[in-house]
Amino acid sequence: MGTAAALTVTTLPGTAAADPETATTPEQAAQLVADASHRLEVVSEQVNEAREVLGLQQLAVATARQDVEEARAQLDSLDGQLRQVARSAYTAGAGEELATLDLLMTSDSAEDFVSSLTFLDQIAGHTTGVLDDVSVAAAEAEQAEAGADAAEAAARQTLDDLSAQEEQLQSDIADYQQQFTELTAAQQQQVQEAQVAQTGQAVAPAAVARPVAASGSAQAAVDTALAQVGDSYVWGASGPNSFDCSGLTQYAYAAAGVSLPHSSRMQAQMGTAVSRAELQPGDLIFYYSPVSHVSMYIGNGQMVHASTSGQPVKVVSVDSMGGITAMRRIL
At 59, which CATH number?
1.10.287.620
**What pLDDT sits at residue 126?**
54
**CA dist list (Å): 270 to 31, 42, 258, 265, 286:** 33, 19, 11, 9, 12
Higher pLDDT, 113 or 318: 318
Share of the chain above pLDDT 70, in %: 65
* Residue 37 shares a structural domain with residue 114: yes
Provide the sign of the torsion angle of the four alpha carbons 301, 302, 305, 310, taken in this order: positive
**Domain-embedded: residue 188:** no
The whole-number pLDDT of residue 270 equals 96
In a domain, 10, yes or no: no
Strands (E), 55-158: none
CATH of the domain at 246: 3.90.1720.10
pLDDT at residue 2, as a whole number: 31
Task: Give dist(CA 308, CA 217) in Å, integer.
Answer: 27
Put simply, whether the predicted model's pTM sits higher than 0.85 gets the answer no
CA neighbor of 226 nearest in space, from 296, 145, 135, 308 = 296
Total number of domains in the chain? 2
Decide if 152 is inside a domain.
yes
Q: What is the mean pLDDT of the chain?
A: 76
Residue where a domain terminates, one of 125, 147, 179: 179
Residue 97: its pLDDT value, please?
Answer: 47
Judge if 175 and 216 occupy the same domain.
Answer: no
Asked if 175 and 228 sit in the same domain, the reply is no
pLDDT at 12: 32
| 287 belongs to a structural domain | yes
Distance CA 238, CA 194 (A): 26
Bin 22: left if φ > 0, else alpha if -120 < ψ < 50, else beta.
beta
Strand-by-strand arrangement of the 284-287 sheet: 272-273, 324-329, 284-287, 293-299, 302-305, 314-317
Q: Does some domain include residue 104?
A: yes
Judge if 175 and 32 occupy the same domain: yes
Pick from 37-46, 122-131, 259-268: least confident: 122-131
The C-alpha atoms of residue 37 and residue 231 are separated, in whole angstroms, by 18
Question: Where is the domain boundary, 115, 150, 179?
Answer: 179
Identify whether residues 204 and 97 lie together within a single domain: no
Is 281 domain-assigned?
Answer: yes
pLDDT (mean) for 233-246: 93
- Strands 242-243 and 232-233 turn out to be parallel
Do residue 222 and residue 319 come from a single domain?
yes
Same domain? 154 vs 85: yes
Question: Does a structural domain hold residue 131?
Answer: yes
The confidence score (pLDDT) of residue 142 equals 77
Q: What is the pLDDT of residue 113?
A: 45
Amino acid in the structure at residue 244:
D
Residue-level pLDDT at 98: 43
CA–centroid distance for 316 within its chain = 27
Residues 194/222, Cβ–Cβ less than 8 Å: no
Distance CA 120, CA 212 (A): 72
Active site residues: 245, 293, 305
pLDDT at 38 over 60: yes
Is 2 contained in some domain?
A: no
Pair (66, 161) in one structural domain:
yes
Q: What is the mean pLDDT of residues 262-280?
A: 96
Q: What is the pLDDT of residues 67-121, one digit of tens each?
A: 777 777 776 766 666 556 555 544 443 444 445 545 444 555 555 545 555 555 5
Q: Are 211 and 175 found together in one domain?
A: no
What is the DSSP-derived secondary structure letter of residue 50? H
State the residue range of the domain holding 222.
200-329
Query: Which of 85-94, 146-155, 164-173, 214-223 is the most confident on average?
Result: 214-223
- Rounded Cα distance between 172 and 166, Å, is 10
Q: Please tell me whether residues 49 and 173 are part of one structural domain.
A: yes
Report helix, strand or coil for 15.
coil
Together in a domain, 48 and 139: yes
Listed range (178-182, 206-210, 241-245) with the worst mean pLDDT: 178-182
pLDDT of residue 286: 97
Does the pLDDT at position 124 exceed 60? no
Instruction: Evaluate if residue 275 carries a pLDDT over 60.
Output: yes
42 and 171 in a single domain? The answer is: yes
> Of the ranges 46-50, 124-128, 157-161, 259-263, which one carries the lowest mean pLDDT score?
124-128
Looking at residues 49-68, what average pLDDT do you find? 80
